[in-house]
Amino acid sequence: MGLAIVTGSAGLVGSETATFLHQQGLDVIGIDNDMRAYFFGRDASTQWNTRRLESVLSRYRHMNVDIRNDAAIEELFRSHHGRIDVVVHCAAQPSHDWAAREPMTDFGVNAVGTLVLLEATRRHAPDAVFIFTSTNKVYGDTPNALPLVERESRWELDPGHPWAEHGIDESMTIDQSTHSVFGASKVAADVMVQEYGRYFGLRTGVFRGGCLTGPAHSGAELHGFLAYLVRCAVTGRPYTIYGYKGKQVRDNIHSNDLVQCFWSFLCDPKPGRAYNMGGSRFANCSILEAIDLIDELSGLRVAYTLTDDARAGDHIWWISDVRRFQQDYPAWQYRHDLRSTLAEMIEASKERYVTEA
């Protein structure tokens, strides 16, 4: 039986990945030291998800290891030399705002930690597939230079633009823009993962996510747009919208749909490829539209305030063009639209946060 190593295994995408690969018959080692609690406070801790994974997955083993710890990662990979089929790297510091507080920590986790994992894979699992969860923030604020049109509830790309129909593709430059410290550290990791595929021949794949979401997300104010918005609705917490009148647009992909992408790549890897991966035109919304949809689905209204202070490097409009991935993997398709995803998140949040309301 093969072995999967999943970093950030108690997070949204990591836990979905660990569960799915376990269902496919793989043994799973999850690496997660709950740095999310350090980043965003105890409310954002993922320990609840670690306990859940350990209770429901019989062949799951949890490792409380920091991915920056070269010696510990080296020993883990060395002890399973020849057994590792896939490494899915989901661990990250994911916030623009937090990265500016501690740039060294941000770069250490996002860039150095990724390099540590790549080297361990190259030495001890050179035939394994290495999948990296990157971000659309590698494009910096370049999307904000697109010709945008203000509508009643959202910003929208000028209909005459080549990307208006399907969204932004991978030809957008990642250079000459403001990325935020977080975006810069993810660029370093993203490019290094590609390079280990092209230069060293590892079977690497990069997925530049839009908003990744789902019921297992431990949403916090500084990260996890939909998850935190739903949490605020369920508990009555106030929500602050930063900039752009609340009309900024994000595409949203359910974590299970993203993991299905990982599985497609694992079954037929194309080394060094980078894919934009999000909800595309299939599932996207502005913040104001998300608030209205949550109200419609749950009867719960988010109490929000608007501020003009937009976050550095933040996008006004982002919709992913996923056609490059669909061309390489035509059998893959979305299973979760925005309404069903939000309904699932609302029910999960009511169950998790009932004592907070």
Name the pTM for this structure: 0.94
**Per the domain annotation, does 154 fall within a domain?**
yes
Least confident of 146-150, 176-180, 268-272: 176-180
Between strands 249-254 and 284-286, the pairing is antiparallel
Residues 293-300: what's their mean pLDDT? 96
Residue 351: what pLDDT?
A: 86
**Per the domain annotation, does 136 fall within a domain?**
yes
Residue 84: what pLDDT?
A: 98
What distance in Å separates the CA atoms of residue 136 and residue 138, rounded to the nearest whole number? 5
**Per the domain annotation, does 357 fall within a domain?**
no
Quote the domain boundaries for residue 263.
3-352
pLDDT digits (tens, 9 = 90+) for 236-286: 999 999 999 999 999 999 999 999 999 999 999 999 999 999 999 999 999
Residues 130-143: what's their mean pLDDT? 97
Residues 125-138: what's their mean pLDDT? 97
Q: Where are the alpha helices (DSSP H) in the chain?
A: 12-23, 35-40, 47-56, 70-79, 96-101, 103-107, 113-124, 180-198, 225-235, 255-267, 287-298, 323-328, 338-352
Is the pLDDT at 44 greater than 90, yes or no? Answer: no
Is the pLDDT at 223 greater than 90, yes or no? Answer: no
List, as one string, the DSSP characters of 253-294: EEHHHHHHHHHHHHHS--TTEEEEES-GGGSEEEHHHHHHHH
Residues 314-331: what's their mean pLDDT? 97
Domains of the chain: total: 1
Residue 217: what pLDDT?
A: 81
**Per the domain annotation, does 341 fall within a domain?**
yes
Longest dimension (CA), the chain: 57
**Per the domain annotation, does 168 fall within a domain?**
yes
Is the pLDDT at 312 greater than 80, yes or no? Answer: no
Is the pLDDT at 100 greater than 90, yes or no? Answer: yes
**Per the domain annotation, does 139 fall within a domain?**
yes
**Per the domain annotation, does 311 fall within a domain?**
yes
pLDDT band at residue 168, thresholds of 50, 70 and 90?
very high
Is the pLDDT at 354 greater than 70, yes or no? Answer: no
CATH number, domain containing residue 148: 3.40.50.720
Residues 112-134: what's their mean pLDDT? 98
Is the pLDDT at 356 greater than 60, yes or no? Answer: no
pLDDT digits (tens, 9 = 90+) for 5-19: 999 999 999 999 999
